[in-house]
């Protein structure tokens, strides 16, 4: 059955580059529109019976200097439906993961060094184990490692209904267009996200070449678009 609550996701902190990132996939459409949230200080995901304000508010509180675990706990304490939620993420120095008692099985989370993983309505706990292990083993930049984590979760069984959408969202000191990627509806969203990331990397390099050919040399700042969050 399509279009029911459920997802698996990962939030990460890369201390070496000062980057925060989130990746998520689910069995309904447009998961990137509601679940992942990032800033220069945190990455947080809200899922199960998603409350997008929890992600947005947790990030805002982290940006004022509050610990992400304390921010998330305060938001859940004020939510009468908290037991239907999953909320997890990383801040500057802390990790946090919560799975409410009313989340659909299988549901749970993993907390590692500089990352958290959570999911609900999954094939089983092996999905989250695979996501965590793949992220730890993966090489490359944050988007590449996040994608490897999603791919591993899918291979391990993923969402028991199959996935329909996926997203990667990254906040880095030097943002670029492949830091905000979404596949909103597809029978193969993670495969499509893999293609999209590759094409976005190529497009970024090609844009510099085409601009030089069109205008001659121009200031680098003209091609520093930033990223929409």
Residues 21-33 have pLDDT tens digits of 999 999 999 999 9
Q: How confident is the model at residue 157 (pLDDT cuts 50, 70, 90)?
A: confident
Query: In the prediction, which pLDDT does 213 show?
Result: 76
User: Is the residue at 120 inside a domain?
Assistant: yes
Structural tokens at position 156: 């391990």
Tell me, what DSSP letter sits at residue 13?
E
180: nearest Cα among 84, 43, 49, 71: 43
Residue 6 has pLDDT above 60, yes or no: no
Q: Is the pLDDT of residue 73 over 80?
A: yes
Length in residues, the chain: 229
pTM of the model: 0.93
Helices 142-155 + 189-215 axis angle, to 10? 160
- The range of the structural domain enclosing residue 119 comes to 7-223
Q: By C-alpha distance, which of 44, 122, 51 is closest to 84?
A: 51
Kindly report the average pLDDT of the chain as a whole number: 92
Alpha carbon dihedral 108, 109, 110, 111, in 10-degree steps, equals -150
Q: Is 228 contained in some domain?
A: no
Q: What is the pLDDT of residues 187-210, one digit of tens each?
A: 999 999 999 999 999 988 887 777
Helix axes 126-137, 142-155, angle to 10 degrees: 150
Task: Give a yes or no: residue 229 inside a domain.
Answer: no
Average pLDDT over every residue of 151-159: 87
Please, which residues bridge with residue 21 across strands? 12, 170
Query: How many domains, in total, are found in the chain?
Result: 1
213 within a domain of the structure (yes/no): yes
């Amino acid at each position: 059955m399509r279009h029911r609550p459920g997802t698996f996701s990962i939030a990460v902190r890369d201390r070496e580059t000062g980057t925060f990132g989130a990746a998520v996939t689910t069995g309904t459409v447009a998961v990137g529109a509601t679940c992942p949230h990032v800033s220069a200080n945190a990455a947080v995901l809200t899922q199960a019976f998603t409350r997008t304000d929890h992600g947005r508010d947790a990030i805002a509180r982290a940006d004022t200097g509050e610990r992400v675990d304390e921010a998330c706990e305060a938001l859940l304490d004020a939510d009468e439906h908290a037991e239907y939620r999953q909320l997890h993420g990383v801040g500057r120095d802390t990790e946090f993961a919560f799975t409410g008692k009313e989340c659909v099985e299988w549901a749970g989370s993993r907390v590692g060094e500089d990352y958290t993983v959570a999911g609900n309505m999954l094939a089983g706990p092996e999905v989250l184990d695979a996501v965590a292990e793949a992220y730890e083993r993966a090489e490359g930049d944050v988007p590449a490692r996040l994608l490897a984590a999603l791919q591993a979760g899918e291979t391990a069984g993923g969402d028991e209904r199959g996935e329909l959408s996926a997203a990667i969202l990254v906040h880095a000191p030097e943002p670029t267009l492949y830091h905000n990627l979404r596949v909103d509806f597809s029978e193969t969203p993670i495969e499509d996200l893999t293609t999209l990331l590759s094409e976005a990397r190529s497009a970024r390099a090609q844009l510099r070449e085409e601009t030089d050919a069109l205008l001659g040399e121009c200031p680098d700042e003209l091609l520093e678009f930033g990223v929409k969050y």
